[in-house]
Structures are given as C-alpha cells and as structure tokens.
C-alpha cells in the first residue's frame, strides 16, 4: 500500500503513519515497507527444512526438494516484487546513456544475463565481475547513467563499493537483493527484492540465482515494452545475425 492507502485503511492520518515509522527508528514509510518485507521472509526460513537435503534422502526426495525450492523462489519473488519500483527502474534504464551491472560469484552470472538481454535490444550495457574494473567503470559514470548491483545477501563488499562510487558520481543506482535492509539496498536509490531460501547444502544457491533471474527477466520485458517496435526489430536483427551458425536438422523438415 501507499502511505495514503495505509492511512485510509487504518482510519488514521499519513502524519501518524510517518510518526509511527520514525518511532520504530526508521527514516520514513518506504523503509517501513522494506522492513515489513524483510520480516515476512522469516517464515520462509522456517520452511527451508522442507527443501534442505539430508543423507537419508532418496533421489526422488532430492529432485522433489530442489524443484520445490526453485519453484517457490520464482513464485514468491513474483508475488512480492514491487511493481512501482520495477516500472521506475525500467524507465531509468530506457533513458540512460549507459547501464553498468555489477555482480560477483553466482551473481556474476545474473549480471551477465541482464547485460546481454539489454544489449540485445539496443541498450548500451556492460557487466563487470572484476572489482578493479568495476570501480574503474563506476568512476566514469555520470548523471545520465545507471548502475545496477546484484547480490543475494546484499553484503558483498565489492558490489557495495561500486554502487557507492557510481552514486557519488551522480549515476542512478539499483540493488537486486534478497535482503531489503542490507548494506547494498541502503546504498542504492532503488531496490528490487527477490524471495529465495538458502539451504545448508546450498541447493538454495541455485534458487537464489533463479529468483534474481526472474527479476532480471521481468525488468528486461518492462524495458522492452517501452519501445516495442524497435525492440522487435532489434531482436529480429540479432536473431538473423546468428542464424547461419545454427545447424539445419533435415529430420525436422
């Protein structure tokens, strides 16, 4: 809900809602929304036992638990993804001269996916997974650019440093993270959250990546929608460019 919607539903004033947020030690209503989102993630942690792998599990159990973790990550991410922030991020990307994406480890794979998706529809985008190159790129960004940091935990130091440097140079900054009150989220202008459970054997590492890829896919499509005609032309051009590299299977004819 917006602050006015909450005030109406609670039959009180927007000022009272704001005062309540500050009484909790939060800077304002947006931070209250993020705190509630993070608090709502705790019941999911209790349910993680349903997807954790044990030595006694059969192959069927392993397949079922991994499928459940991955499917839940997509479904819960979609449910809680902030539509307004998604639209605002897409608008910023569409207007940006350049998009720089930062991610390390598993998040580097997500960053590369976002970069190639945006690049394919004509957005000048770069993905960086080397901390020195990332900081170098961030130092060259300006007010007409956007920097996107991807980190499941939101505590990856290199990603936070790159986002902070980009922001200091006037670039618009976005965090994609599972934890809306994490240092990365607090360093960014806009926050897009995932909803993935980690497990002891880190089968959740795949779930967290799939959750982030869900956000990336939604973001890509919303950006593409803004210029649908040119997007379709770009996708066709890029498809045609690589078509000669596909082997023709005569059995399909």
**Which fold, 79-233?**
Rossmann fold (3.40.50)
pLDDT exceeding 70 applies to what percent of the chain? Answer: 91
Q: Is the pLDDT of residue 202 over 60?
A: no
Q: State residue 46's pLDDT score.
A: 47
Burial 78-110 (b: 16+ CB within 10 A, else e): eeebbeebbebbbebbbebebbbbbbbebbbeb
How high is the mean pLDDT of the chain?
89
The residues, any chain, with a CB within 8 Å of residue 41's CB and separated by 6 or more, are 178, 179, 195
Which token pair is 243? 């078509």
Q: Is the pLDDT of residue 130 over 80?
A: yes
Which token pair is 115? 């970069």
What are the pLDDT digits (tens) for 70-89?
898 999 999 999 999 999 99
What are the pLDDT digits (tens) for 148-170?
999 999 999 999 999 999 999 99
Q: Is the pLDDT of residue 147 over 60?
A: yes
Give the predicted TM-score (pTM) of the model: 0.77
């Amino acid at each position: 809900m917006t602050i006015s919607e909450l005030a109406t539903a609670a039959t009180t004033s927007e000022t009272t809602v704001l005062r309540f947020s500050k009484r909790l030690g939060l800077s304002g209503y947006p931070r209250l929304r993020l705190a509630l989102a993070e608090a709502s993630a705790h019941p999911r942690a209790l349910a993680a036992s349903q997807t954790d792998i044990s030595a006694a599990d059969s192959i069927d159990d392993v397949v079922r638990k991994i499928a459940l973790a991955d499917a839940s990550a997509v479904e819960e991410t979609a449910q809680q993804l902030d539509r307004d922030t998604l639209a605002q991020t897409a608008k910023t990307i569409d207007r940006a001269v350049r998009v720089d994406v930062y991610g390390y480890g598993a998040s580097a794979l997500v960053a590369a996916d976002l970069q190639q998706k945006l690049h394919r529809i004509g957005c000048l985008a770069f993905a960086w997974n080397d901390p020195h190159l990332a900081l170098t790129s961030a130092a060259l960004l300006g007010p007409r650019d956007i920097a996107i940091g991807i980190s499941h935990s939101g505590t990856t130091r290199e990603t936070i440093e790159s986002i902070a440097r980009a922001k200091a140079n006037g670039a618009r900054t976005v965090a994609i993270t599972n934890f809306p009150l994490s240092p990365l989220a607090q360093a960014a202008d806009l926050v897009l959250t995932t909803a993935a459970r980690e497990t002891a054997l880190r089968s959740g590492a795949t779930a967290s990546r799939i959750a982030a890829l869900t956000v990336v896919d939604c973001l890509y499509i919303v950006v593409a929608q803004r210029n649908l005609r040119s997007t379709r032309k770009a996708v066709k051009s890029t498809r045609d460019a690589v078509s000669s590299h596909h082997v023709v299977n005569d059995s399909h004819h």
